[in-house]
Amino acid sequence: MPASPKILTTLDQARIWRAEARTRGEKVVMVPTMGALHDGHLELVRTARAEGGRVIVSIFVNPTQFGPNEDFDAYPRTLAEDVQKLQGDGCCDAVFAPAPTEMYPFGTNRTWVSVDRLGDHLCGAARPGHFKGVTTVVARLFTILTPDVAVFGLKDAQQFFILKRMSQEMGFATRLVGVPTVREVDGLAMSSRNRYLNPSERAAAPVLYQSLQAAQRSILKNGERDGHQIIAQIEGLLAAEPTCRRDYVSVVDTQEMQPLVSLESGSTVLIALAAYFGPARLIDNVIVDVP
Ligand code: PAF
């Protein structure tokens, strides 16, 4: 029988679990998720495992990071399946799956953590209030569990850079680890939202990564340094795919996440995009070291 993670649903249970690990002198490594786990999440858990210590996965579909017209109600909630996936291979020691009332005891939240400027573009511009919800819930999770390490996927690269800044500026003693995006064989980034795609949308969706790879080649092989040209190249490839509706394409620096007109040699840049296929809004990115 594969080992089963301990299920914690209240703040008190989570705090006791944390205190017990501390008493034993064990490091705590956390993987925050919204559930609907796929292989990308299991890769985060494997990375967490490799850090050593106790691994805890949080599963909470966080209402405050969804806009009024977004998919909060439709977002898949698959706790029983998720826990099964976390046994055996993807094994963690505990799952923290709180009810909304545990995370937001007053219903309407009045205390927020937000990071200025880094959320002004990309998903921050396309989804107003989204990152304020993310930073608030992650700050709360960090406060409850005081993890030594927290592991996040780099598919949400802007989220990762914002959380890193938030954690440093708030003085959390948590080291953030970013894990490269896990992809299907045709290059589509794994996402809980891929399940919304119908067969023709699914067939078309790899254009996202193909267009990012083309842009990366232009920078690395052809010496392209013009931010607008890079965006135009990607937009052209997306426009050629009839089922794809572009949301944004952007090239930004990885510190302040501001749009770049020209790419400097020796810098690291993030090329990020979001696009709709039917109702599914998918994101992807590449992080490029400019030669
Ligand atoms: O990346 C996610 O799944 C969520 O944004 C996170 C970090 C778990 C916060 O709700």
Q: Which of 41, 121, 130, 228 is catalytic?
A: 41
User: pLDDT digit string (tens) for 12-39?
Assistant: 999 999 999 999 999 999 999 999 999 9
Report DSSP state, residue 262: B
In this prediction, residue 102 carries a pLDDT of 97
Reference 57, options 73, 70, 43, 67; nearest CA is 43
Residue 176 C-beta-side C-alpha neighbours within 13 Å: 21
**What percentage of the chain exceeds 70 in pLDDT?**
99
The rounded Å distance from CA 34 to ligand 1 centre is 6
Reference 29, options 149, 173, 141, 172; nearest CA is 149
In this prediction, residue 91 carries a pLDDT of 87
Q: Are 11 and 58 in contact (CB under 8 A)?
A: no
**pTM of the predicted structure, to 2 decimals:** 0.96
pLDDT at 40 over 90: yes
In this prediction, residue 235 carries a pLDDT of 98
Quote the CA–CA distance of 160 and 165 in Å, as a whole number: 9
Which stretch of DSSP H or E encloses residue 277?
strand 268-277
In this prediction, residue 88 carries a pLDDT of 75
User: pLDDT digit string (tens) for 62-80?
Assistant: 999 999 999 999 999 999 9
In this prediction, residue 1 carries a pLDDT of 62
What average pLDDT does the structure give for the chain? Answer: 97
Which ranges constitute the DSSP H helices of the chain?
11-23, 39-50, 79-85, 100-103, 123-126, 130-145, 157-170, 199-204, 207-220, 227-239
The rounded Å distance from CA 16 to ligand 1 centre is 23
Mean pLDDT for 169-178 is: 98
- Centre a 10 Å sphere on the Cβ of residue 242 and count the other Cβ atoms it contains: 8
Mean pLDDT for 117-144 is: 97
The answer for 254, left when phi > 0, alpha when psi is -120 to 50, beta otherwise, is: alpha
pLDDT at 2 over 80: no
Q: Is 34 in the pocket of ligand 1 (CB under 6 A)?
A: yes
pLDDT at 90 over 70: no
Quote the CA–CA distance of 94 and 55 in Å, as a whole number: 7
